Amino acid sequence: MTTATTSRGDRRVSPVFLGILAVTAVTGWATWTGFAERPGVAVFLFVTAAWVVSLCLHEYAHARTALHSGDITIGAKGYLTLNPMKYTHALLSVVLPVIFVIMGGIGLPGGAVFIERGRIRGRWRHSLVSAAGPLTNVLFAAVCTAPFWLHALDGVPGDFRYALAFLALLQVSAAILNFLPVPGLDGYGVIEPWLPPGAKRQVEPFAPFGLLFVFALLWLPSVNGVFFDLVDAILRGLGVGDGDASYGYSLYRFW
């Protein structure tokens, strides 16, 4: 019943998203073949485009789960088209996450889709809507690291391998940070339905600043060290070598 008011056009994949996919494919090919005269430029474009693709999929997962949980307004807002230009805050949704990657090699998606929570019934459904985004990052990380944990790296060019490792780092860091129970992040959205009303009212004013607060904390050397130690431990568990992601980041920052 929830999909009955969603037209076929509301679900049609946006040309903008297809264009981003095309950039990802072409620059991935250039990274793989060594076609680019400056490999760092190809790695930069490939990782950035793939990162934006993952941002779109992250928000699509929120929207699709919300649709099936009762918010039938999602389709009309354009959220099912995977078009990042349809998001509520383009700056928070795409620009800031890319800046975070360039400045610190950190994957941190921002808030993007507006969900009418009043249409969703049941605390478990609310939690699932919030969890759907970072779970998409977990899946993306698994795909990026598949050649590593499947021991299928024979024949994979070095630059492409390092780019995949860095892209995996972004996905792992995005999943960890988004699952933090900080207002404004998905982790808080998971637990919010289970909090007393008074606690929700006290926390609500801080929600717009949660993302920037977390990013500021990561600039503290002690916090940054602990965080990336955790990310590196997860990557090692997925078969990614200690230096692969860091070398990928150095290629990414070609300038």
pLDDT tens string 104-152: 788 876 667 889 999 999 999 999 999 999 999 999 999 999 999 999 9
The DSSP call for residue 89 is -
Q: What's the confidence (pLDDT) of residue 148?
A: 96
Residues with catalytic function: 59
Q: Tokens 């009418």 sit at which residue?
A: 116
Q: What's the confidence (pLDDT) of residue 49?
A: 95
All residue ranges of the chain with pLDDT < 50 are 1-4
Q: Residue 87 has which token pair?
A: 């998001």
Q: What's the confidence (pLDDT) of residue 218?
A: 87
Q: What's the confidence (pLDDT) of residue 90?
A: 64
Q: How far apart are CA 95 and CA 102, in angstroms?
A: 11
Q: What's the confidence (pLDDT) of residue 2?
A: 43
Q: Report the predicted TM-score, pTM, of the whole model to 2 decimal places.
A: 0.91
Write the CA distances from 36 to 46, 60, 240, integer angstroms: 12, 32, 25
Which amino acid, 161?
R
Q: What's the confidence (pLDDT) of residue 4?
A: 44
